[in-house]
Amino acid sequence: MGHTNSWNPDLEGLAERFALGVTRDPAVALQQWHADLHTLHSSLRATAHRLADQRLSWPARIALNTVPDGARLLLQWSLERQGRPELPSLPFLSPRLAYAYCASLVHQRAQPAASAALREGRLLVLGLRRDTSTLENKGRGVYDDHLVVLNGWGRRGSVHFFPATTEPSAQYSQRAASAAGGGRVDARYQDVRFKESHGADVDRDGVLDAGRLLAGTYFFTEMPRLFLDDRAFWASQAQTVERDTNGDGRFTLADSHRIDRKGVGRTMYIHQGGPMNRATINTWSAGCQTVPKNLYPTFLSALGRSPRFFYVLIDAR
């Protein structure tokens, strides 16, 4: 059963013990639950809560709701599903904790089919995104997100983290292009070295709007051709993106008409980006998910040959 070693706890075991205990005596189970989690770091406590939430049967939830502390816990879990999860410092202390953390997020946030695939030990890729301005690094992008390969190489329980970006860089924004009268289309993009325009004019103001993949669940397969001279992956169905229509470099509720379900098709790929070991980093992303070129071979090895996988993208903090 659950081991409460605060350095390398068995969070899956703790969640299972709690789920079983609730059906017998919810008050006693709650008392033990709080004692088990008391010494854990906040990110590990949150992981344990997510794992317990997805393990509870409906009879167990009904029983838990009969205890005031249990009713508060169910409400807490409901509210946490609506917020952004904490992205703790990486790497984790152990592969077991890393896998438990990622699995808890998949079970909480992904579509049921993806959650079921993970339980079956199938390959799955998790994207953990931190909000970053497209103007960062003079519009060349930064690798401050992560792509996590779970159950790679057909190895159940394996976890591999890769630095990545899941957001576009401003070098591909029409706002960084030269204006007819001099300067830039948007003066805020003065320091950006423009490459080419990507996007869709969803608010019909005459300027293409940069987009990023909307957090959610997608299914990816390998593309039948090379992209940027290497293997790449695309979604099996049309994707949904959110657009930076006000051009401030962020994707927020302040952007009118921000949700775009038609303008991108399947073109938000997963592919290699520029290397991380240079003084000047360039992610090569116009909205795709990119992994640094020098780490990309290891990423491909983790995926294996001709992979087919759910990709679960989560906005974290």
Residue 1 pLDDT exceeds 60: no
Nearest CA among 124, 117, 84, 82 for reference residue 102: 124
Report the predicted TM-score, pTM, of the whole model to 2 decimal places: 0.92
> What pLDDT band is residue 5 in, cutting at 50, 70 and 90?
low
How many Cβ atoms sit within 10 Å of the Cβ of residue 99? 21
How far apart, in Å, are the Cα atoms of 308 and each of 150, 154, 289, 311?
13, 12, 16, 10
Nearest CA among 116, 98, 85, 82 for reference residue 12: 98
Residues 239 and 218 sit within 8 Å (Cβ to Cβ)? yes
Torsion sign, CA atoms 2, 29, 49, 55: positive
pLDDT at 36: 92
Listed range (1-15, 86-100, 272-286) with the worst mean pLDDT: 1-15
pLDDT at 9: 86
Listed range (1-15, 69-83, 159-173) with the worst mean pLDDT: 1-15
pLDDT at 292: 97
What is the pLDDT averaged over residues 167-191? 95
Nearest CA among 195, 199, 223 for reference residue 209: 199
pLDDT at 8: 80
